[in-house]
Structure 1
Amino acid sequence: MKGFESEMIQRLRTSDGWKFFGVLPQANRGLAVTWWVLLLLRGILPALFAIVIGRLVGAVQRGQDVVGPLALVGAVYLPLQILAPLHRAIGANLGSQTAAWLYDRLVLACVRPPGMGHLENPKLTNDLTMARDFDLGISGPPMSISMDFIASGLVEMIVGLASAAILVGYAWWAPLLLAGGWLATHWLLRESAVWRDRNTEEVRDAQRHADYAYRLAVEPFAAKELRLFGLADWTVDRFRSMRSRLVELRFQATKLRERPVLWSLLIVLIANIVVLGSMASAAADGSLALDRLVTYASAAVTTGMIAFGGLSWALDCSAAPVAAVLRLKEAMEPAGALVLGRQPADGLPAREIRFRNLTFTYPGTDQPVLEGFDLTIPAGTSLAIVGQNGAGKTTLAKLLCRLYDPQSGGIEIDGVDLRTIDLDAWRSRVTAVFQDFIRFELPLRDNVAPGGAPDDFIQSALADAGAAGLADLDTVLARGYEGGTDLSGGQWQRVALARALCAVRLGAGLVLLDEPTAQLDVRGEAEIFERILAATRQTTTILISHRFSTVRHADRICVLEAGRVVELGTHDALMAAGGRYHTMFVLQASRFGTEDTEEEGVNYDVLT
């Protein structure tokens, strides 16, 4: 028996509902305590009202002074009317603060881990989606609104239980019979045992697909392709089918499947007939006075609130994202954890960067991206990395930034394992431009130097990136702000390059460029890359690109294939060798049908 009770307590403590109520005082203890106090008062006052009404009726019947009983009726009735709107306002405030508290925890869970494995782990995708959008009214009402629904259900349950307690004064069996009947109905109608089915992996997956289909239809990022390729009907059909699937799953999770409604009606009907019939008989033979009859009959009627109160769908909608945020907080820190070294990074790299027998696999997959990878990059030189999509080029950049650590092997900086170097110190020595570089809705100054830098550094970096005169440093780069402006894709790319070049002026010794000029025309790309090489002459520069007209200017070129180095050398040496690099270069050039494309800087961005 003790083992069973312990198991029940453990299940209760690990339930989503328990976790939800547990975060309320963490969001705001004062509001949470007030909310619970008002909840209990709202549940108890209706039962007290039945008692004071009975006393008033008794006073009238016996010809006694009714001032006292009337005062008691007023003392109970007024709070009964006032507490509901007050409780609603406090609940809305508490719900808003709880949502804000959860968003704070989610942001910390996402941003604080030094790595980024937690953000690309497919096992966390559904929880991330739910936690990110939970208060937007997509999967349920915002928490500020849900609090009122939750409170209403709990108030009704307390009213029913308090009323059942009053019936003990009439007969010990009356509350057991009535409360038992209504509780059975509550179980049958509300199916508390299957509420959890609304929060299964299947339901959450359907929610994610339905939300994605909705975003395809209403957000700008997909608008061009949807219209160009005639996908409007396809999008609508997909949205309807995904949303219908979600509705069907939720219906299956909450429909009446344990017992037919007829059983509920029969149970309640029989219980009420027995109790109310007994009261009528007692009143008829004079053993139950009128005042007591009024009190007990009112209590018998309000006991029915048990069936319609309690934990409702609103708690399910609010508790699921709370549990998701708490699970993410526990899962993300180890998933994004990295070994934190202590060695200084001053002046690194001064001699070389070496990948030694490195193997790396992304979380959630079993196929290594890099396996037994070896490569040495002399400090102060430029290296271009080319290869087919999926060869591991961007992965190398992520590893150098220590966004991930390899499963085996390692990266050595001047003979020192990168994992033993202080993480923040190393990252201060690294700057990068990734394909999906960030675009801050902030002034140009903050886009180039988010951490701050002298204006002459910023202006010089913009000039080197070919972005001089793009906008005033105080101009916000977004049209939604007063005086703001937007930029073309190529202009944004120049700003991202200026950010990297500004970091070089602030002390970065390693520059990583992952398709840094993909949105520039070919002549602009050639011009920019020459400027980059000039500005980073004293630093180690690694360029990842598909455009051979750019990579040919690097000191050395590395060809990756299936996570391994298959060729390494200068452009001229690799062309003379007639190997993989030569084949890819000729393939790109031949598509333009001219012999001078190499010199003219034609766009060779056709490698797959």
Structure 2
Amino acid sequence: MQRVMEVARERVALLRLLRSAGGLTVAVLAGLAAIGVAAAPVLAILVRHLVDAMVSGAPYLWPVAALAGVMLLRQAGEIVGEAVDAVARKQIDGAVRSRVRRLTLAPSDITHLEDPAFHDLAARAGDQGITWRVRSPGAASVGQVKITVRMLATIATAGVLATYFPFLALTLLGVSLAIRWIIRRQWMYLESVKDAATPERRKVDYWADIAAGPEAGKEIRVFGLGGWVSERRLAAHYAWMADYWVIRRRVLRRQWTTGLLAAVAALLALLVPGLAALHGELSVGELSSCLVAAWGVFAISVMGPEAFDIDYGRTSVTALRALESRRSSPRTGVPAPGGVPEIRFEGVSFAYPGMPRPVLDGVDLTIGAGERLAIVGISGSGKTTLVKLLAGLYQPTSGRILVDGVDLCDLDPQGWRRQLSVLFQDFVRYPLTARDNITLAAPEASGSDEEISALAREVVDRIDTVLWRTGTGGRDLSGGQWQKLAIARVRYAVSKGRRVVVLDEPTAHLDVRAEAEFHERVIGGVGSASVVLISHRLSTVRPADRIVLLRDGRVTEQGSHDELMAEDGEYARLFRLQASRFTSEGAAR
């Protein structure tokens, strides 16, 4: 009973999605539905009048005209319905995808974006179909309207048959629904098997993107990996579909059950009215009406495309409901402190779900107001994770981060981020103008063309140049040029009131000359703002007020460059290791 109620709630949820299709579209669908429900039983009745008239020799012009009119109306409804259904599907799908985007963007942190379960739900909610069928909430909603019409039409047609043979009508209706239930259960079980393999399907998509995308195109061709990538994609596809193919063969071998039920029902539909007519209990017209009505009842046993649309697409609706159940209200809090703040990490630890050890483990660190702080360490030591904690994109597993004595968790996230300007190592390259790529760092502010042009002059001549390699009239930039534009983005944000600047590997793509000018032009150009600089190039962090070395998620050394060199610890070893490369090259020259 509980399962029946759950299915009923799902079907009602599908019908509610029609609100996204618009009032006019829904009204047209309702009118077409009324035609679809009435056509089948009316045809069965009109056939009786037509045949009786023909047998008795009475005029039969009006039954022919009525029969033709109903058939023409039903056919026209089906043709118009295809166009209206397509419009409704697109409108509903667009509305659902918008809801998925809002749910994805709503949380103030990014923890959910790194959760495989969330990605599975989002993929199902926005799934538009990857094989012969359309798997979308719009298709499911429209399919629910169609199946409702078919069911009501079948019941009405069974009512026509029941006026002559009530038991036969109930039997044919029951058998037809049983056949439908068996087929639906078999094929929907197949779909559940495919759903369970969603992570494997994402691997297929990944290898397909690698094969066709421009990002990996250079390596694939230089290394001669085209065949290997195709084989990996094919292997991933087989891994995804292997269980499905086995179960599908098993289902096909079991089709004798439905075939036997259909044969028995057809025999009853022919035998019972036929014997009655043979014994004079039915006229020829009534016999014809019963046969047409029986055929109408049989129609519900056929799994039309709308049935698959519903059962494939309702998983989208279920996934959407699951996403909404995970939804968290936008976090609010106290306003962020004004001015340049002091930031303290007190015993901060952070562990990614499923990882055996924390990335950060009891970090105690103070970032003084206006201080130039550098954070160094080998890859995987937790540097970028610390930045994401500072930006409020992650919440500490334990410990706390204080901003002028206020816990960062208690601050309004948006207000705090308007105090930050962060240049991530994997910064976004927006396919927009140079102006937009700079000003999006402080979208609430406005800047003059002269100000923006001054920041971008080393990269582009015109700030309205579109930075998009596939766009008409656009151009792409080199890695170093993009890095300079990202640095200009930071400088613009500081000029609009950002008081804490975080730079994660800001010189990774810069040449030696640009790196040498980095501190003078960038660090020296942010005024009184605090600066957190992360870099593997220790020459870049050397002028910092204080350098912090992270190792195994902990602060193991801190001090100025000269102090750390005098300690002759890990930092000194790493610095000499990097410096020796240049010294050796200089000696060789």
| TM-based fold match above 0.5 | yes
Greater Cα offset, 480-489 or 531-540: 480-489
- The equivalent position to 2:313 in structure 1, one of 309, 313, 318, is 318
Aligned partners of 1:542, 1:446: CA distance in 2, in Å?
Answer: 25
Cα separation, 2, equivalents of 1:161 and 1:309: 17
Structure 2 residue aligned with 1:605: none
Tell me the CA shift for residue 569 of structure 1.
0.7
CA–CA distance in 1 between the matches of 2:335 and 2:428?
Answer: 30
Q: Does residue 533 in structure 1 map to residue 523 in structure 2?
A: yes
In the alignment, does 2:543 pair up with 1:561?
Answer: no
Shift of 1:158: 4.7
SS in 2 for 1:594: helix
Name whichever of 25-34 and 106-115 sits farther off: 25-34
CA 1:162–1:231: 2 relative to 1, 3 Å: farther
SS at match of 2:93: helix
Asked whether the equivalents of residues 122 and 364 of structure 1 are also in contact (C-alpha less than 8 Å), the reply is no
CA distance in 2, matches of 1:522, 1:253: 61
Aligned to 2:578, which of 585, 588, 604? 588
Name the counterpart of 1:606.
none
How many angstroms does 1:577 deviate by? 0.8
- Rounded to whole Å, the distance in 1 between the matches of 2:487 and 2:309 is 48
When residues 29 and 327 of structure 1 are mapped into structure 2, their CA distance, relative to the original with a 3 A threshold, is farther
1:168, CA displacement in angstroms? Answer: 0.6
Q: 1:139 to 1:328 in 2, by over 3 A?
A: farther
1:546 equivalent among 514, 536, 551: 536
Distance 2:390 2:468 in 1: 32
Q: Percent identity at matched positions?
A: 34
- Are positions 1:359 and 2:359 aligned together? no
Instruction: Give a deviation string over 1:181-213, Cα, whole Å, max 9, x none.
Output: 323322333335844743665222222222222
Q: Distance in 2 between matches of 1:523 and 1:138?
A: 53
Q: How many residues are paired up? A: 583
Q: 1:447 to 1:306 in 2, by over 3 A?
A: same
The equivalent position to 1:455 in structure 2, one of 425, 449, 458, is: 449
Hey, what does 2:227 align to over in structure 1? 233
Q: Is the contact made by 2:186 and 2:251 (CA closer than 8 Å) also made in structure 1? A: no
Cα contact 2:364–2:555 (8 A) shared by 1:
yes
1:468 aligned to 454, 458, 464, which one? 458
Compared CA separation, residues 295 and 232, structure 1 to 2 (3 A): same
* Distance in 1, Cα, partners of 2:149 & 2:335: 60
Contact kept in structure 2, 1:191 and 1:256, CA below 8 Å: no
Q: How does 1:92-491 map to 2 (within 5 A)?
A: 92-132=86-126, 134-135=127-128, 137=130, 140-141=133-134, 143=136, 156-191=150-185, 194-195=188-189, 197-198=191-192, 202-252=196-246, 257=251, 260-309=254-303, 312-333=307-328, 338=331, 340-349=332-341, 352-363=342-353, 365=355, 367-450=357-440, 451=443, 452-462=446-456, 467-468=457-458, 470-491=460-481
Does the 8 Å contact 1:443/1:474 carry over to 2?
yes
Question: Structure 1: any 5+ residue segments left out of the alignment?
Answer: 603-608
The letter of the residue matching 1:435 is: Q
SS of residue in 2 equivalent to 1:191? helix
Question: Offset of 1:547 from its aligned partner?
Answer: 0.6
Cα distance in 1 for residues equivalent to 2:492 and 2:129 = 38
Closer, same or farther: CA 382–595 of 1 in aligned 2, 3 Å: farther
Distance (Å, rounded) in 2 between the aligned partners of 1:257 and 1:266: 15
1:423-447 CA-partner distances (Å, limit 9, x unpaired) = 3222111101101111111111111
Which whole-Å CA distance do the structure 2 matches of 1:206 and 1:358 have between them?
36
Structure 1 residues 325 and 530: alpha-carbon distance in aligned structure 2, compared to 1, 3 A threshold? farther
Moved more, 224-233 or 117-126: 224-233
Report 1:30-109 matches (<5 A).
30-32=24-26, 34-109=28-103
Normalising by structure 2, report the TM-score. Answer: 0.91
**Contact 1:386/1:393, CA 8 A, preserved across alignment:** yes
Q: Which moved more, 1:87-96 or 1:358-367?
A: 358-367
State the TM-score, normalizing by the size of structure 1. Answer: 0.88
Cα RMSD for the two superposed structures: 2.8
- What's the CA shift string for 1:273-297, capped at 9, x where partnerless? 2331122222122211011111101
Separation in structure 2 between the aligned mates of residue 9 and residue 281 of structure 1, nearest angstrom: 39
1:77-110 residue CA offsets vs partner (Å, 9 max, x unmatched): 2211110011111110110001110111111111
Please state if 1:516 is matched with 2:506: yes
- C-alpha contact 2:350 2:396 (8 A) present in aligned 1: yes
Give 1:321's aligned amino acid.
S
Deviation digits for residues 543-594 of structure 1 (CA, Å, limit 9, x no counterpart): 1110111111211110001211000011111111110101111222334552
Deviation at 1:13, TM superposition (A): 4.6
Distance 2:62 2:131 in 1: 52
Given the superposition, is the C-alpha separation of residues 468 and 416 from structure 1 closer, same or farther in structure 2, using an over 3 Å criterion?
A: same
Equivalent pair of 2:340/2:529 in contact (CA under 8 Å): no
Q: Sort the Cα spacing of 1:322 and 1:199 in 2 relative to 1 into closer, same or farther, 3 A.
A: farther
Counterpart secondary structure, 1:304: helix
Deviations, residues 95-128 of structure 1 (Å, cap 9, x unaligned): 0001110111111111222211121223212223
Q: For the structure 1 residues 138 and 58, does the alpha-carbon distance in structure 2 shift closer, same or farther, using more than 3 Å as the test?
A: closer
* Equivalent residues of 1:512, 1:541 under 8 A apart: yes
Matched AA of 1:135: Q
Q: Report the AA paired with residue 300 of structure 2.
A: I
